[in-house]
Amino acid sequence: MGQDQTKQQIEKGLKLYQSNQTDKALYVWIKVLEKTSDPGGKFRVLGCLITAHSEMGKYKDMLKYALDQIDTAREMEDPDYLTEGYLNLARSNEKLCDFQKTVSYCKTCLNMQGTTVSLQLNGQVCLSMGNAFLGLSVFQKALESYEKALRYAHNNDDKMLECRVCCSLGNLYVQLKDYEKALFFPCKAAELVNDYGKGWSLKYRAMSQYHMSVAYRKLERLPDAMECCEESMKIALQHGDRPLQALCLLNFADIHRCRKDTDKAFPRYESALGIMTEIGNRLGQVHVHLGVAKCWLLQKDFDKALDSLQRSQELADGMGNKLCTLKVHCLSEGIYRSQGQEEKLREQVVKFLQCVEELELYCGMCGESIGDRDQKLQSLPCSHIFHLKCLQTNGTKGCPKCFKSSMKPGFV
Ligand SMILES: [Zn+2]
Ligand SMILES: [Zn+2]
């Protein structure tokens, strides 16, 4: 198969894919992959297969095609192809929660000396890197990466990228427990979808609704949370978007748990866990086990709660997610305290304090912790994070942590 025919067949697959005939599209693309003699065409068709498998949640296949793609790029020795190939490798590892690998592939991308074509990808690289740092609970670096991604989005007028970064920022502020900002950013994403998203895939709308729903739940606005989550789930079902379906199920379960309705929560946790195990979303699985543990606590079944916490901890340790490990120790501490098990309690307290130290979640001004309750936070352009109230009393002096002079609040 020559260059022209390859191009034609890729286009044919794209049309099928866009009209929701995914199986037929995959068939056409895999045939191209077998028959083409054009390396550029092979690279592009692998790109199509990577995107399709990512959206279906088939992350292991996604990684396999990304590895083929980087081999093709290496044969072609073209920096633009290499950058795109490494970005796809980074993304595949991000989806499989292999966050260290994601960070290192992103760094490889940023060090490539490509043309303007690959420079345009840098925003996406920064977003992926931010997500990986967030997965490792390295909040300041996550924030720094998101800031850079936003700057690329603004400079290139890339509203889709801006929308995705806003959703990720929502996720970051949920974790830092500034719920006002956690709601602000996905609302901003939803606005972008309304203003510019006529031609976009509906998944952007679904994604922003999902993140809004999580923030509403944290703000204890449960009817709003329910409404957004239903909207998101509806689109996820229409599009066969398994990864988002799993996240929505988890969020539905959490909403029911907040209403103390464990009968409704348990089966939803179980369905979410099923999909997440199948697709390889380990971070999602940790959150399911944490939610299940909290349900058992509501029912005062401490043995079952400890069992779920144990599972969360194993998965969280495997990924290097320190925030989840911290939550496990915090919940275990509560259980052992209520049971009067002094020795085990002490062990958990020590581990908990170790986590707090490693996370460096302190305000650089008052020295008090950040992210242990709902408090307004503000970052500076250097991406250091403080309590808003502390920065307001600091006046116009520079950043108290790194001594950079600008006190203008950062984008995020
Ligand atoms: Zn403070
Ligand atoms: Zn600073």
Assess whether 407 and 393 both reside in one domain: yes
d(CA 105, CA 246): 27
Residue finishing a domain among 240, 256, 287? 240
Assess whether 294 and 333 both reside in one domain: yes
Position 81 scores a pLDDT of 92
Whether 120 shows a pLDDT value over 90: the answer reads no
Among 53-67, 71-85, 384-398, the least confident range = 384-398
Position 409 scores a pLDDT of 52
Q: 392, exposed or middle or buried, with CB in 10 Å at 0-12, 13-18, 19+?
A: exposed
Q: Is residue 410 part of a domain?
A: yes
Closest ligand to C-alpha of residue 394 is 1
Domain extent at residue 372: 363-412
Q: Is residue 137 part of a domain?
A: no
Position 410 scores a pLDDT of 52
**C-alpha distances out from residue 194 to 158, 167, 198, 229, Å:** 15, 15, 7, 18
Ligand 2 center to 405 CA (angstroms):
9
Which residues make Cβ contacts (< 8 Å) with residue 135, sequence separation at least 6?
A: 94, 97, 99, 102, 283, 319, 320, 321
Residue finishing a domain among 361, 381, 397? 361
Q: How large is the average pLDDT for residues 101-111?
A: 95
Ligand 2 center to 401 CA (angstroms):
5
pLDDT range class, residue 407, cuts 50, 70, 90: low
Ligand 2 center to 379 CA (angstroms):
9
Closest ligand to C-alpha of residue 362 is 1
Q: pLDDT (tens digit, 9 = 90+) per residue, 303-322?
A: 999 999 999 999 999 999 99
Assess whether 354 and 313 both reside in one domain: yes
Q: Is residue 204 part of a domain?
A: yes
Residue finishing a domain among 240, 266, 285? 240
Ligand 1 center to 199 CA (angstroms):
44
Assess whether 232 and 280 both reside in one domain: no
Helix (H, G, I), strand (E, B) or coil at 226: helix
Which residues make Cβ contacts (< 8 Å) with residue 250, sequence separation at least 6?
A: 268, 269, 272, 276, 284, 287, 288, 291
For position 383, which CATH number holds?
A: 3.30.40
Average pLDDT along the chain: 92
Q: Is residue 139 part of a domain?
A: no
Position 357 scores a pLDDT of 85
Q: Is residue 12 part of a domain?
A: no
Q: Is residue 247 part of a domain?
A: no
Q: CA nearest 265: which of 229, 228, 293, 235?
A: 293
Q: pLDDT (tens digit, 9 = 90+) per residue, 124-152?
A: 999 999 999 999 999 999 999 999 999 99
Closest ligand to C-alpha of residue 392 is 1
Ligand 2 center to 381 CA (angstroms):
7
Q: Is residue 74 part of a domain?
A: no
Position 404 scores a pLDDT of 66
Assess whether 344 and 317 both reside in one domain: yes
Q: pLDDT (tens digit, 9 = 90+) per residue, 194-209?
A: 999 988 889 999 999 9
Model pTM greater than 0.85? yes
Q: 24, exposed or middle or buried, with CB in 10 Å at 0-12, 13-18, 19+?
A: middle
Ligand 2 center to 153 CA (angstroms):
23
Whether 98 shows a pLDDT value over 80: the answer reads yes
Whether 115 shows a pLDDT value over 80: the answer reads no
Max alpha carbon distance in the chain (Å)?
Answer: 74
For position 232, which CATH number holds?
A: 1.25.40.10
Ligand 2 center to 402 CA (angstroms):
4
Closest ligand to C-alpha of residue 364 is 1
Closest ligand to C-alpha of residue 143 is 2
- Provide the domain count of the chain: 3
Assess whether 355 and 367 both reside in one domain: no
Q: Is residue 64 part of a domain?
A: no
Ligand 2 center to 86 CA (angstroms):
30
